Amino acid sequence: MERIWKAHWPPGLDEARIRLPQEPLAVILKRNARRAPAKPALIFYGRELSFGELDEASDRFAGWLKGRGLRPGDRVAFFLENCPQFAIACYGALKAGAINVCLNPMHKAVELQHVLDDSGARVLVTSDQGYGVVEPIRARSPLEVVVVTAYRDFLPERPTLQPPPSFLEPPRACSDTEDFRTVLGSSPPLATPERRALADTALLQYTSGTTGVPKGAELTHGNLVVNCELMRLWLGQTPDDRVFGVVPWFHITGMEVQLNMMAYVGSTFVALGRFDLDGALRAIQDYRCTLTTLIATINVAIVNSPTTRGYDLSSLRLCLSGGAPVPAEIARRWEAITGHTLVEGYGLTETTAPTHCNPPHRPRYGTVGLPFPFTDVKVVSLEDGVTELPVGASGEIVVRGPMVMKGYWRRPDATAEALRGGWFYTGDIGHVDAEGYFTIDERKKDMIKASGYSVFPAEVEALMYRHPAVAEVGVVGVPDPYRGEDVLAFVVRKPGAEIGEQELVEWCRKEMAVYKAPRTIRFVSALPKTASGKILKRSLRDQARSA
């Protein structure tokens, strides 16, 4: 497709003049720390961690990893909520040449076990609270050492914002683990980051598929820094910006668009561990934040709250949204209440977050904007996956560019299916208009977006089949005004089973991350199926919506 979108890029953006970075993020962070060592890198409920402190602490963590025998290419996993310890360990592992594995802190043991086994992580950094999930499966995992921290260890004596109550709990004893503060206090710093090529894998970011088995997208050092540079140019982000963020860092949006951009650009990052409406608005107001990236559910919470207008958000110059489509009406209400346009972008785990973004000077609500420089995008036929479709016609969106992953970790079959002829097949159905703005129509696969998180029905079904009362199950997404989509399960009970809806809902919440667990269960005598025996998900969705 002719790159018609270039005419509407942000003013002054000239692809021919862009010089893509040639150094890994760890090297760039170190340079920013030398340039402004006393400048706050992270502000966490009032606790300030300067660039110099972040650099030195991550050097010490890197030195500790080397002392434990970690080699370049070994995997280090993180099972943490947003906190300074996450950033220190993340960049320390990159400096040591490790491949980072970011785990969802809401995972239950069965989900955690799979990712640890698949990645082969030798080291895990977690909280004392998270260790309760890790400990029962540790002996069956490849883990050689676990480092434990308490969230309150990096909180100030008098927080300027209210931390989550669990962050204030007294530290818990965790046997046979290393203490994070002791590691930093006793380890010699690694003087020079391990040399890593831009083509080397930096991050295994786990995502599911139609099989329901999470697989690791291999994102390279080049993927990370290239997308940081493209975002910097697109958004005009500078070291003078003060960025607010609450999107979780284990998710590619929070990791790349906020945490990595702090390290790459040298901007100050005001971060929260979890979303709290009052805390988020107060952080923007009190710290005079100029830029933020949120997700649709947070946008909805802010525009629906009667208290929002009571906060001074005038310092903001740019508000981004990602993770899930934002209804045009919500975007318009956001602008009316905050006085700022909402700039929506689009990307996937496999593309290191954004491949598209609305130009800040010319956003078009209801679309995900224009492709980034050096990025080719086309819409292809759903019939053959090859024929390129004209403007306005809907088909599968396929992408190629320097932010696209190298493949799935140890999954050549899945890699070959997703990467064909140099193009990444997104699985999303959409179309492009005459000016190059793309719109996502629906998902080719059955993926559900609940509160910005990806939920794959096959994975939820596989977990639900573990319950002794479940004979058959079909999981679909249904529209929800707050969460975007909700998870609904149609269940056929085994003969003689008398389990009720609430009992099964509670079981699901114990066995899987809360955002995956069905909030509603509908018991049926049989599931609609094709002649070949496949469950008709479209029929289930129709039943759900008609009810």
**Which neighbouring-strand residues pair with 47?**
44
- Cβ contacts of residue 393 below 8 Å, gap of 6+? 379, 431
**Per-residue confidence (pLDDT) for residue 164, from 0 to 100:** 97
Lowest mean pLDDT among 125-139, 250-264, 442-456: 442-456
Boundary (domain end) residue, out of 197, 214, 240: 197
Domain boundary among 197, 232, 250: 197
Residue 161's domain comprises 51-197
- Judged by DSSP in three states, 247 sits in coil
Q: Is the pLDDT of residue 141 over 90?
A: yes
Number of domains into which the chain is organized: 2
**With 70 as the cut, is the pLDDT of residue 40 above it?**
yes
Q: How many helices (H) and strands (E) does the chain have?
A: 16, 27
131-138 and 109-119 are packed helices; what angle lies between their axes, rounded to 10 degrees?
60
CATH number at residue 512: 3.30.300.30
Q: Is residue 377 part of a domain?
A: no
Give strand pairing partners of 529.
535
Euclidean distance between CA atoms 5 and 23, whole angstroms? 29
- When mean pLDDT is compared across 1-15, 25-39, 440-454, 473-487, the lowest value belongs to 440-454
Q: Say what the pLDDT of residue 81 is.
A: 97
User: What's the pLDDT score for residue 301?
Assistant: 85
Angle of CA points 307, 309, 314, to nearest 5°: 135
Straight-line distance from the first to the last Cα atom of the chain, in angstroms, rounded to the nearest whole number: 42
CATH code of the domain containing 111: 3.40.50.980
Over 60: is that where the pLDDT of 171 sits? yes
Is the pLDDT confidence value at 20 over 70? yes
Residue 222 DSSP SS3: helix
Tell whether 185 is covered by a domain.
yes
Average model confidence (pLDDT) for the chain?
Answer: 93
At residue 295, does pLDDT exceed 90? no
Q: 258 by DSSP, 3-state: which?
A: helix
Per residue in 506-527, pLDDT tens? Answer: 999 999 999 999 999 999 999 9
Residue 380 located in a structural domain: no
pLDDT, position 213 = 76
Residue 336 lies in a domain: no
Beta carbons of 62 and 95 less than 8 angstroms apart? yes
| Listed residue (198, 225, 264, 341) closest to 30, CA to CA | 264
Q: Report which residue type is found at 456.
A: F
208 has pLDDT over 70: no
**Any idea what DSSP says for residue 377?**
E
Instruction: With respect to residue 100, please indicate whether it lies within any of the assigned structural domains.
Output: yes
Predicted confidence band at 380 (pLDDT cuts at 50, 70, 90)?
very high
d(Cα 248, Cα 63) in Å, to the nearest integer?
Answer: 27
